[in-house]
Structure formats: structure tokens, C-alpha cells
């Protein structure tokens, strides 16, 4: 129960991080950020729908879900991400941490990316997971984009599964 409280606090702090345009611009200027649609020192939130190829009880049924996350890019190409998703109303069920490498193509406002990391699942079957995936983000504006990605998840107690996500990323 204690770990749930700590993770909930971390999630609230990440969501409440300063994201005003003025604060982000100040941080980028202070850190010497690169310009363009995909810049360094970029903080983005994401909301997405998900589709998992099996449920958390290790049955063979696919499951839709919803999730949210936060991404921070230290440079134009490398960053970290944290996300959680659920397929029932029993949050938090899972938390994933990823390292992300992206290759922005400014002329068409897209950025293919690779990511990998680890996660922890608490509900139904408590277990550790590892994942690797790839995706594509298209930016409509500097503040908002649409993304799609897929990850293969290896679980230590249940069968491996694939998770697909489609959503929006936004900054303020």
C-alpha cells in the first residue's frame, strides 16, 4: 500500500510540474535549447488509448484501455518517459519508465522514435516487466502532436504481450 501512495505522489508532481509557456521558454533559454518543432529541454504530456494483446490475468483476450504519461527530452534526440495505463478502473495498475531516442524530420514535422525500459505491475499479478518499442509522432503545432507506437512487453510471471498506443502529446 505504501508504494501506491509514493507512486501516486510522483504522478501528481509530474503532472503539476511547471509547464507554462513562459516557464518552458525560460528553461529552454537558460539551458541553451535548440529551436524547431522538436527541441531540446522539451516537456510534454500525453493522453492515449491503448490495445493490449492479452489481459493482466494471463488470459488470451485482447483488451482496450486508456493512459497518460509525461516525456522530457534533454536534447533533440534523447529523452525519458513515464506512463501508466489501465484497462479497468483500478489505477494504478502499471507504471513504465523508458529511455527514448528520436530522429526529428522538421520539414514534414514528424519524428520516428525507439524506446525501451522497464515497468512494474501491481494489480492482479504483481510483476516486473521490460519493454522495447518503436513509434512515430507528427506535430500539428509546436505545442501539440499525435503519436502511435507499439511495444513488446516481457513479463516475469505471465506471458509476454504487445501494447499499441494512439494518442496526443501536448505542452503549454
pLDDT for res 114:
98
- Residue 27 C-alpha cell reads as 528553461
The radius of gyration of the chain from alpha carbons, rounded to an integer in Å, stands at: 16
Q: What are phi and psi of 62, to 5 degrees?
A: -80, 155
Domain ranges for the chain, please list them: 2-170
pLDDT for res 123:
73
> Alpha-carbon distance 81 to 138, whole Å?
17
pLDDT along the chain (172 residues), means of 10: 50 48 46 70 94 63 85 96 81 86 95 96 85 96 95 89 94 79
Q: What are phi and psi of 27, to 5 degrees?
A: -65, -45
Cα three-residue angle 172-119-153, rounded to 5 degrees: 105
> Alpha-carbon distance 96 to 84, whole Å?
6
Query: What are the start-end ranges of the H helices in 32-111?
Result: none
pLDDT for res 169:
96
Contact 41, 96 (CB under 8 A): no
- Level-2 CATH architecture, domain 2-170: Beta Barrel (2.40)
Exposure b/e, 14-38, CB count within 10 A at least 16 = b: eeeeeeeeeebeeebeeeebeeebb
pTM of the predicted structure, to 2 decimals: 0.76
- Residue 123 C-alpha cell reads as 494489480
pLDDT for res 23:
46
Contact 148, 165 (CB under 8 A): yes
Q: What are phi and psi of 77, to 5 degrees?
A: -110, -20
> Alpha-carbon distance 32 to 34, whole Å?
7
Amino acid at each position: 500500500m505504501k508504494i501506491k501512495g509514493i507512486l501516486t505522489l510522483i504522478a501528481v508532481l509530474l503532472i503539476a510540474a511547471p509547464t507554462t509557456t513562459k516557464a518552458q521558454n525560460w528553461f529552454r533559454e537558460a539551458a541553451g535549447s535548440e529551436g524547431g518543432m522538436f527541441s531540446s529541454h522539451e516537456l510534454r504530456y500525453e493522453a492515449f488509448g491503448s490495445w493490449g494483446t492479452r489481459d493482466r490475468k494471463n488470459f488470451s483476450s485482447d483488451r482496450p484501455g486508456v493512459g497518460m504519461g509525461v516525456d522530457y527530452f534533454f536534447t533533440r534526440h534523447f529523452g525519458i518517459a513515464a506512463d501508466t495505463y489501465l484497462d479497468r478502473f483500478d489505477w494504478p495498475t502499471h507504471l513504465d519508465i523508458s529511455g527514448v531516442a528520436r530522429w526529428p524530420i522538421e520539414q514534414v514535422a514528424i519524428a520516428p522514435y525507439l524506446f525501451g525500459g522497464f515497468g512494474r505491475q501491481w494489480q492482479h499479478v504483481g510483476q516486473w516487466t521490460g519493454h522495447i518499442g518503436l513509434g512515430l509522432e507528427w506535430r500539428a503545432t509546436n505545442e501539440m502532436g499525435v503519436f502511435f507506437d507499439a511495444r513488446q512487453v516481457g513479463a516475469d510471471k505471465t506471458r509476454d504481450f504487445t501494447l499499441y498506443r494512439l494518442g496526443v502529446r501536448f505542452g503549454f
